[in-house]
Amino acid sequence: MSINLVTLLYLLASVCFIQALKGLSNPRSARAGNAFGIAGMIVAVCTTMSLIFKQAQDLGSDLQTGFSLLLAALVVGGTIGAILARRVEMTKMPELVAAMHSLIGLAAVCIAYAVVSEPQAFGLASESMPKGFLPFGNRIELVIGTFVGAITFSGSVIAFGKLSGKYKFRLFQGAPVVYPGQHLTNLILALVMLGFGAMFYLTQEWTSFLIMTAIAFVLGVLIIIPIGGADMPVVVSMLNSYSGWAAAGIGFSLNNAMLIIAGSLVGSSGAILSYIMCKAMNRSFISVILGGFGAEAGSAADGGSKEQRPVKSGSADDATFMLSNAESVVIVPGYGLAVARAQHALKELTDKLVEQGVQVRYAIHPVAGRMPGHMNVLLAEAEVPYDLVYEMDDINNEFGSTDIVLVLGANDVVNPAAKTDPKSPIAGMPIIEAYKARTVIVNKRSMASGYAGLENELFHMDKTMMVFGDAKKVIEDMVKSVSGSVH
């Protein structure tokens, strides 16, 4: 395969990746975006494998054996990925994404170590230089790609544990892990890590490279453990960006234009998405990295032993009667809906209400769920029409004229304290303004606080009725009740 053809195919794959990002920016074009992404990756992988096969044929049997092992690894890895993708539940999608980010970071570290160990195998060693000598420009690229990849790996492992919520080890629990001098410790470690990276740049010594990598692994853990559950969507997006930059850095060392372009696209899009997430929470990116809701969440959560304030509660039948007699309804889905796997039942309820002439719309907060776009994907899986789904900024002005808001498993994103309490940890955070509607129905399992660990004033308003129970069962009961009223 000629170099010109390889370059042309990599360019084609890059165009597909750009079109994929463009398509994924909107639910209506997301399927086309996925198709472009898959096509681009197939072109990139096939081109790379063809190039490696040609080189193996030219250079001998040992490389042909290596190519066979690489092909076998590709088949095994692809099979495992396909099985996981088919079996993963919607509620497990965030931690699956975090796990994939960790693998990208680890791959970047492994490639960097292979390059440092055998630079001549990657065409980086010149015959006029000592054996194993790395050009200074490549050393910089390897240092950056290695420590970013290591931080991505260990940080993503911690994020996976926090998102999973099934591990008892303290570092994997959703509550922030804080200790005195935490930020100073992280700063010192970062400076020491960069110092050993500079030492490797000057000397190309393995010891400094190993120490730099080890500190980066530790730093990835320490950066993520003080971040509470409320900030997890931003963390997922941030780690996505890190994985992209790690891939781009290694792409420079391998002189692989495809890896540079793909990594840069992932890195820049992840950074932009992180900014959008932070803006939606009225937070700065630095405040998230420095621990987010850490201290406040812990103190607020401790308030669980306080006397519970009274709330108005009702049954699924009560909620159905109110919804059936409303003219306009806005549904606010949250992570509780995903946990209950109630999206299909909700779609059926929506259809029943629309048949009765009720205007039904969905309001999505940018950080609802545990990863960016979680609620959009959840509703798309249930085939909820895209024209019924509105972003927060597009629907907030409508709540004043809305009869009923049905909140399903959401908490912090509808908490009026963000608007009314300047001392609240979420003060200034843009919220879905459900409290402006004439009536609010909230479905939750209990009165437990959300990720931010704060009491929600919305639940105690006179206009609010709480319906306690599993979201799927409650919604299914509402569907039966609506069907019965029709007949």
Tens digits of residue pLDDT in 194-243: 999 999 999 999 999 999 999 999 999 998 888 766 667 778 888 888 88
Q: What is the pLDDT of residue 174?
A: 66
**Number of structural domains the chain divides into:** 3
CA atoms within 13 A on the CB side of 143: 25
Tell whether 267 and 140 lie within a shared domain. Answer: yes
Is 70 exceeded by the pLDDT of residue 1?
no
Q: What is the pLDDT of residue 7?
A: 85
Contact 157, 223 (CB under 8 A): no
Residue 427 included in any domain: yes
Q: How confident is the model at residue 143 (pLDDT cuts 50, 70, 90)?
A: very high
Residue 271 included in any domain: yes
Q: How confident is the model at residue 19 (pLDDT cuts 50, 70, 90)?
A: very high
Q: How confident is the model at residue 295 (pLDDT cuts 50, 70, 90)?
A: very low
Residue 175 included in any domain: yes
- Domain C-terminal end among 265, 292, 319: 292
Q: Provide the percentage of residues in the chain whose pLDDT is more than 70.
A: 87
Q: How confident is the model at residue 461 (pLDDT cuts 50, 70, 90)?
A: very high
Q: How confident is the model at residue 304 (pLDDT cuts 50, 70, 90)?
A: very low
Is 70 exceeded by the pLDDT of residue 451?
no
Residue 385 included in any domain: yes
Is 70 exceeded by the pLDDT of residue 302?
no
Q: What is the pLDDT of residue 126?
A: 64
Residue 302 included in any domain: no
Q: How far apart are CA 481 and CA 185, in angstroms?
A: 58
Tell whether 70 and 97 lie within a shared domain. Answer: no
Q: How far is CA 429 from the centre of its chain?
A: 19
Tell whether 360 and 319 lie within a shared domain. Answer: yes
Strand ranges of the sheet holding 359-364, from the earlier edge strand across to the other edge: 389-391, 359-364, 328-333, 404-408, 439-444, 464-468
Q: What is the pLDDT of residue 62?
A: 60
pLDDT digits (tens, 9 = 90+) for 33-89: 999 999 999 999 888 888 777 766 665 556 667 777 888 888 898 898 888 878 777
Tell whether 221 and 357 lie within a shared domain. Answer: no
Is 50 exceeded by the pLDDT of residue 300?
no
The whole-chain average pLDDT of the chain stands at 84
Tell whether 147 and 34 lie within a shared domain. Answer: no
Q: What is the pLDDT of residue 172?
A: 77
Q: How far apart are CA 15 and CA 47, in angstroms?
A: 15
Section 423-446 average pLDDT = 89
Q: How confident is the model at residue 106 (pLDDT cuts 50, 70, 90)?
A: very high
Residue 457 included in any domain: yes
Burial 264-296 (b: 16+ CB within 10 A, else e): bbbbebbbebbeebbebbebeeeebbebbbbeb
Tell whether 143 and 243 lie within a shared domain. Answer: yes
- Domain C-terminal end among 36, 58, 87: 87
- Domain C-terminal end among 257, 292, 327: 292
Q: How confident is the model at residue 381 (pLDDT cuts 50, 70, 90)?
A: confident
Q: What is the pLDDT of residue 298?
A: 39
Tell whether 125 and 177 lie within a shared domain. Answer: yes
Contact 218, 189 (CB under 8 A): yes
Catalytic residues: 412
Nearest in space to 45 (alpha carbons), one of 256, 206, 207, 211: 256
Pull the structure tokens for residue 327: 């003219």
Residue 304 included in any domain: no
Q: What angle do CA 319, 27, 364 make, to 5 degrees?
A: 35
Tell whether 288 and 395 lie within a shared domain. Answer: no
| Structural domain harbouring 217 | 90-292
